[in-house]
Structure 1
Amino acid sequence: MAESLERGRTRVRGFADPEMDYQLMRQLGATRYGGASVGECLALAARITDADPASWVQVFAAAGRRQEADADARAARGHAISARDQYLVACNLYRAAEYYASIQDPEHAVLGLASRRCFLTAMHQGGLACEEWWFSLDDQRLPAYYVRAPRNGSAQGPGHVLAIVSGYDGTLEESWLMYGAPASERGHDVLLFSGPGQMDAWRFNAQSHFRPDFEHIGRAVVDRVLALPGMQASRLALMGISFGGYFATRIAAHEPRLGALIANSPIIDLHAYMTSFTGLDPAELSDDEDFGPDDLPHIPDHVMDAQKRAMSANIMLRMGQASFRDTYRYLKQFRVEDSDLARITCPCLALVGEGEGAAPQQQAGHFVAHVGGPATPHVFTAEQGADGHCQNANPGFSAAVSMDWLEETLG
């Protein structure tokens, strides 16, 4: 009997659960700029129980600790480049674990701070000038990173600055891996900032809640960037990722001091955007149907599985609402009116994937049609492997499209 030939035991298998499979694809996409490896992602996935958040957290957190220890050992032996690469992988492993960890669990902040620690150490090992910035709003400390691109010759001040804000579950560190690193490669300084309710804010502010008037933190960000020696508003670009597409659009509608805006994707009505995925409007739930965070442990698995319970609890708590119905009613305040869009006169790039669904594509089209300045739409396709939300499966191509547009627009 002939023996089968096997060149390895790792297999290309994902998850039956679509959300967990998307999160795996998100992790795989991070390989482009050093945040993961294909082999490790698939090996970890094989040890995770489908649609079980606790299993995901346990496996990814353990991998993060293992990779951080490996990075520490390489740094101690003087291998700065190898240590940098391993710290970046550890950083993103901790981020993946943080995603599924309940924000009610102290481990959530522990994992997030571990991701931050590894990121800062990686930047130090790699010789990049990464400064920790802080903004304040309503007594909250909001973290940010300012990464200076390597300067040529005698140049000292910033050239172009790309300010990036992520969304509901993205982090400063992940934003670097998706767009910050390719922007820095092209000579742009990069500011990664966060606002209330975001993952980075939760690491330092328990009970931090999202708020629709994101222009307040945006104004502080623009003020600080423009205070840099030699900086001009025409060289400042703003990019929003996921929910950040709403945050960045809201900022731009109230902040004329921008040279360009990239929305990935443009969200002008967060309630409509979210209900397009649920297929119903939880804002219309009856009293008998409504539930709060304390009710979730009592909902049986055949009605709501562990993953949906965890995600439901997180959105209620991070929106600062007492029930699921109240949460979706609150989302109606997250809107950018047509009169606000008309005030956005800087050049705009609207990115969306053809696989995201009708509502995101409709909102992107509405954004392009109603902003006051020139707007360029770009739709990513399944053939490119970039049709999903924020092109997480192909961030390199997404970065090429957005960074090239930015260079052609700002000069």
Structure 2
Amino acid sequence: MNPERLALYAISQGGYWAPRALAFEHRFVAAVIDDGVVDVSEAWHAMLSPILKALFDNGERDAFDAAIASLPANTRRTFTWRAKPYGCQSFFDTFLEAARYKITPDLAARIRTPVLIADPEQGGYLAGQPERLYDMIPGETVHVRFTEAEGGAGHCEPMARSLAAQRFFDFLDDRVGLTGS
């Protein structure tokens, strides 16, 4: 391993973890973040119906957890799977915990690594966050839009992985310098 060629690639919620890591770890030569995440809780709250949102906002822990438990099995599985990394005992507590996961301007200001931030059209519950992250990082940052016309719409460009890979590897090749080595 050559430490002068250390790169970081993050996808989905890794778009939160990578900028956080880059604020403290400065050995990376370049990073690709697909999609950028500023506030994890925004994605969590976007999944809530108006009724669930009202229960959460009113602090009704038991009613909130009961309402999620009564959702269709597929929806419950999605909530349960997404909640695992947080290690909380209830869905209500998981939503509270997710609110702690934010990239602040002070944290972003610590990033010194060149970063490419992918930003697909129709980004779903992360829409707008990649551009916000781009605006917060003071150093070399490249904001790459993916459009529906080129097949790159949707969270992490699921229908345009070849296009995404080409753009990401072009960025990394320019900074990590593997060509001709």
Give 1:286's aligned residue: 60
2:5 is matched by which residue type in structure 1?
Answer: R
CA distance, structure 1, for counterparts of residue 141 and residue 64 of structure 2: 41
CA distance, structure 1, for counterparts of residue 12 and residue 65 of structure 2: 26
Determine if contact 1:267/1:273 at 8 Å carries over to the other structure.
Answer: no
2:24 is matched by which residue type in structure 1?
Answer: H
Match of 2:15 among 229, 242, 245: 245
RMSD between aligned residues: 2.3
Determine if contact 2:116/2:141 at 8 Å carries over to the other structure.
Answer: yes
Q: Identity rate of aligned residues, in percent?
A: 25
The structure with the largest alpha-carbon Rg is: 1
Moved over 6 A (4+): none
Residue 274 (structure 1) shift: 2.4
CA distance, structure 2, for counterparts of residue 244 and residue 322 of structure 1: 23
1:338 aligns with 2:105: yes
Residue 243 (structure 1) shift: 0.7
Residue 283 (structure 1) shift: 4.1
Give 1:354's aligned residue: 121
SS in 2 for 1:251: helix
Determine if contact 1:368/1:377 at 8 Å carries over to the other structure.
Answer: yes
Match of 1:397 among 145, 153, 163: 163
CA distance, structure 2, for counterparts of residue 345 and residue 288 of structure 1: 44
Match of 1:310 among 49, 52, 77: 77
Residue 279 (structure 1) shift: 5.6
Cα-to-partner distance string for 1:254-287 (whole Å, 9 max, x where unaligned): 1111111111011121112322343654742524
SS in 2 for 1:386: coil
Determine if contact 2:126/2:155 at 8 Å carries over to the other structure.
Answer: no
SS in 2 for 1:339: helix
Give 2:96's aligned residue: 329
Unaligned runs of 5+ in 2: none
Unaligned runs of 5+ in 1: 1-157, 159-230
CA distance, structure 1, for counterparts of residue 83 and residue 13 of structure 2: 16
Closer, same or farther: CA 360–287 of 1 in aligned 2, 3 Å: closer
SS in 2 for 1:391: coil
Closer, same or farther: CA 345–279 of 1 in aligned 2, 3 Å: farther
Determine if contact 1:352/1:360 at 8 Å carries over to the other structure.
Answer: no
Residue 323 (structure 1) shift: 1.7
Residue 306 (structure 1) shift: 1.7
Closer, same or farther: CA 261–279 of 1 in aligned 2, 3 Å: farther
CA distance, structure 2, for counterparts of residue 385 and residue 345 of structure 1: 32
Cα-to-partner distance string for 1:8-49 (whole Å, 9 max, x where unaligned): xxxxxxxxxxxxxxxxxxxxxxxxxxxxxxxxxxxxxxxxxx
2:18 is matched by which residue type in structure 1?
Answer: A
1:376 is matched by which residue type in structure 2?
Answer: V
TM-score by length of 2: 0.84
SS in 2 for 1:335: coil
Determine if contact 1:316/1:322 at 8 Å carries over to the other structure.
Answer: no
Determine if contact 2:36/2:130 at 8 Å carries over to the other structure.
Answer: yes
SS in 2 for 1:257: coil
SS in 2 for 1:364: helix
1:342 is matched by which residue type in structure 2?
Answer: A
2:74 is matched by which residue type in structure 1?
Answer: Q
